[in-house]
Amino acid sequence: MDKKWLHNIKQRYASKWLVLLVDVAIVAVTLFLAYIIRYDFKLSFNIFTVLRQVPVVVIAGVLSFLLVKSHKGVVRYTGFRDVVNIIIGANILATMLFLITYANNKFDIHQILEFSGTVIYIHLFLNILFLIGAKFFIKSLYRSIISDFKVEGNVLIYGAGNSGMLAYEAVQGDPTNQLEILGFIDDNQKKIGKKINLLNVYSLDQITAEFVNKHKVTEVIISIQNINPGRLLEITTYLFDYNVKVKIVPPVQSWIDGDLNVNQIKEVKIEDLLGRDPINISNPVLEDEYDNTIILVTGAAGSIGSEISRKLSSYNYKKLLLLDTAESGLYDLEQEFKRNGVKKFEPLIADVRDIERMSTLFEKYKPKIVFHAAAYKHVPLMENSPYEAVQVNICGTKIVADLSVEHGINKFVFISTDKAVNPTNVMGASKRIAELYVSCLKGKGRTKFITTRFGNVLGSSGSVIPLFKKQIDNGGPLTVTHQEITRYFMTISEASQLVLEAATMGSGGEIFVFDMGKSVKIYDLARNMIFLSGLRFPEDIDIKITGLRPGEKIYEELLADGENTVNTYHDKIMIAKTKPFNIEATKEKIISLCNVHSRTQNLEIVAKIKDIVPEFISNNSKYEVLDESKK
């Protein structure tokens, strides 16, 4: 047998029996104290009778503590549950002594089995006092030793309710913690000004710069279950102004075995500060939708495409085709899938603009569901390269959509953007034209065409979050184009869930949009990211306003002028009802646009785009000259 393993076992169980031994010793000592108190601190009782009663009390104590398993608790982590166990164990012991006394009186067994009722009650009280006191004394001593008597800062707990008390117990119960709980914050006026566990309850308004500096407040733990996301954003932004670190207690369902551990209290993430509830979709029909099906994902190496692919990899599909022109990104996804044991997938290097290559792939693999995520998405780059925007975003979509009809694909799910709504730039307009072309194919063949339209995705490549992180790593400043600019945000996981749900929900021709709550000010997002990085604004890192980029709006929209929505069975997903348009005329214009040559002047290309999308009004762009005739 492994000696090291045997040593660990001995150590593990020795500590438990040591706790039991100490508890039993306390019970024996308190018996003498109970008699002394009962006889007014005079030795006017038979000491030898008490000595003979000690083994009886010890045996009853051992049985009681084994029954409640109080000896299995780790003393240095003593908390509320341990206290309850001690109280229950002490009461069981007292009950046993009463039963022993009752049995002796009835059957006259022996004098040592007769305990005075007063002694039993005093003994019970002393046991509770000494057993709890001993454990908390050892816990306090251990904590003082390992922390070297140093307190690194003061903590406030936001929430003076049940969850707040559990957070208090978790922090206080962690011997490695070097933070002191200063008090509570609460929104309930009835609690403000009162004390809980001898600690003051404050209102948020009382937490000022002067208060923070005076009391050396370093962090606030938000411990409110199901807190409104908008309120969380308000609280966090308020506290960040005073350079206070903010942490949050997770939902109770994620606690380990129903207990809150201090390690589960995490710092607020940027995803928590969207000002709305996370969008969760749970639909068992999805399994049937993708079961034994060949699925094609274009743009699979991109942020959205790769996340869609990851979510699809958990289903029982027949084959998953991952298509992209980005060799490195596709290779990384392939290696990730291999590491995770994903089967029945195949990476394909191909360009959606290459009709012959795409046609060959459709012929060879015969996919039944297509997720079309391949696109150029950077606004400033596409403003300077409208030809490329047309070729990839419009013509690439046209090629894949046409092949879907030709090969009888069941469903074609197109990934669009909120920038397609009342576009002010080439990129957004190109995506709107792609939406229009997809709509033109409704009813053509058996293919159901579905469009998903959503806002900016947190953490996607080229998005503002990775940019801010890089700027923070480089020491700043963070660059924001306009102090009032706002955007809708969602997580990559939310965006991917919408796409998969749309594939099941859609019956063909719909444009699905999210109820994404309020849009977020990018300036506030930048400030929050600075604080979440443990830095101060503007002392450590500043924010620089650079001015709107060509084609950039101050705010985005999810619905165009004249559009409205129809509810679905999910309260966060709606169907946009678009304005009617001339399908054949629009289709002819799109085909003509796809035939432009690379040598065609940018102004000519953008003029054709504006002809198809009349609501496309350029902003802060050289193409504004084309809008003069519209005024």
Catalytic residue numbers read 419
Give the relative orientation of helices 3-38 and 117-146 as an angle to the nearest 10 degrees. Answer: 140
User: Are residues 452 and 502 in contact, defined by beta-carbon separation less than 8 angstroms?
Assistant: yes
Picking from 394, 463, 457, 462, the residue whose alpha carbon sits closest to that of residue 431 is: 394
Whole-number Å distance between alpha carbons of 515 and 571: 8
| Alpha-carbon gap, residue 482 to 477, rounded angstroms | 14
Q: What CA–CA distance (Å, rounded) separates 282 from 40? A: 69
What does the DSSP assignment read for 330-377? HHHHHHHHHHTT--SEEEEE--TT-HHHHHHHHHHH--SEEEE-----
Strands (E), 407-466: 411-415, 448-453, 456-458
- Taking the CB of residue 538, how many other CB atoms lie within 10 A of it? 12
Task: Provide φ and ψ at 297, rounded to 5°.
Answer: -120, 115
- Judge whether 511 and 416 are in contact, CB under 8 Å: yes
For residue 318, give both structure tokens. Answer: 């027949």
Distance from C-alpha of 610 to C-alpha of 504, rounded to nearest angstrom: 34
Q: Cα–Cα distance between 321 and 352 in angstroms, integer?
A: 14
- The C-alpha atoms of residue 168 and residue 174 are separated, in whole angstroms, by 10
Give the pair of three-digit tokens for residue 344. Answer: 């029945």
- Beta pairing class for 411-415 and 448-453: parallel
Whether 144 contacts 52, CB under 8 Å? no
In the three-class reduction of DSSP (H, G, I as helix; E, B as strand; rest coil), residue 234 is classed as helix
Q: Is 248 exposed, middle or buried (0-12, 13-18, 19+ CB in 10 A)?
A: buried
Nearest Cα to Cα of residue 390 among 588, 210, 596, 575: 596
Report the sign of the C-alpha dihedral through residues 604, 608, 610, 614, in that order: positive
Residue 187, both tokens: 């929104």
H-helix or E-strand spanning residue 155: strand 153-158
Bridge partners, residue 283, by sequence:
none
Of 448, 450, 444, 436, the closest CA to residue 586 belongs to 436
